A and B are shown apart, each in its own frame.
Chain A
């Protein structure tokens, strides 16, 4: 019974953790949009703009990845089960 409650709550927690995917999505959308704007203004700077954008997008993605890691830990390597 206790195990079932912990497992169910872990699954819900994993789902809730992935709500953090919202933020990076919005942020990356802004970054890519601004990059396209600047490329449209200065097409010769496309290489530099794209390279910088990828680094920025990767940075913005970190928070989403952290939540993914937490969800993975809750689902596949649950530390709470061992505390029962």
Chain B
């Protein structure tokens, strides 16, 4: 298992490396942008096109989830949650067309978790005041302050590791299966050379079954869980402690 390949390097600050992850991430952002523009063009009060029905379904789903989990007062979080959901979902699902998953890179998931961490800290300071926030670390007794600091850091860390571990682990298992099936087809003399392309007969169809679980199911569930945990943590931080 190799890390993401470096596509090109920006020659400032000693060379910033632009990896596969970032480039595929741009494509994902572009797809989301085009899809949003297409789905929301020509909106009518009474929908008469299929795309407006789809758009209303998506927006309604996110709005309902935010309302149920965070309450009516946080409804302005819905656009952020929708963006997070779409980016991580499509970022995981690009592996279905043979690209490297955007979320199989720890940098992506840590960046997303850091935004959540900033939001949690912001809402804690907003509700309790700055001194209340500092004082919160010394509860129930001052002796436990180091443990409270660790648990504060553990939230974004566990969120990012969960997403990364699930997606990257799935891709590693798929890769191991491909290697095993390639060796099996070589041993059974079912491997043919078609010019530069090598065709291993056993490799056909069998990985698709695993791909349904590791790509489709895990990608959808992890995107949903990441958004859900963001909502739960932020709304918990906004409650008076």
Contacts and interface: CB of A to CB of B under 8 A. Distances in A.
Interface of A: 51, 54-55, 58, 61-62, 65-66, 68-69, 72, 76
B165 A55 contact: no
A54 B218 CA distance: 12
Contact of B169 (A55, A58, A68): A68
Contacts of B222: 58
A55 B168 CA distance: 20
**Chain A's interface: helix, strand, loop or mixed, by majority?**
helix
Contact of A65 (B161, B172, B229, B232): B161
Contacts, number: 39
Given A65-B161, A66-B161, A76-B1, A58 B229 contact: yes
Nearest to A51: B228
Interface in B13-45: none
B122 interface: no
A39 to B, nearest CB: 18
Given A68-B169, A72-B172, A55 B232 contact: yes
A38 B229 CA distance: 23
Nearest to B172: A72
Interface in B215-241: 221-222, 224-225, 228-229, 232
Interface in B160-188: 161-162, 164-166, 168-169, 172
B229 A62 contact: no
Given A66-B165, A68-B169, 18 more contacts: A54-B221, A54-B225, A55-B228, A58-B162, A58-B229, A62-B158, A62-B161, A65-B158, A65-B161, A65-B162, A65-B166, A66-B158, A66-B161, A69-B161, A69-B164, A72-B1, A72-B165, A76-B1
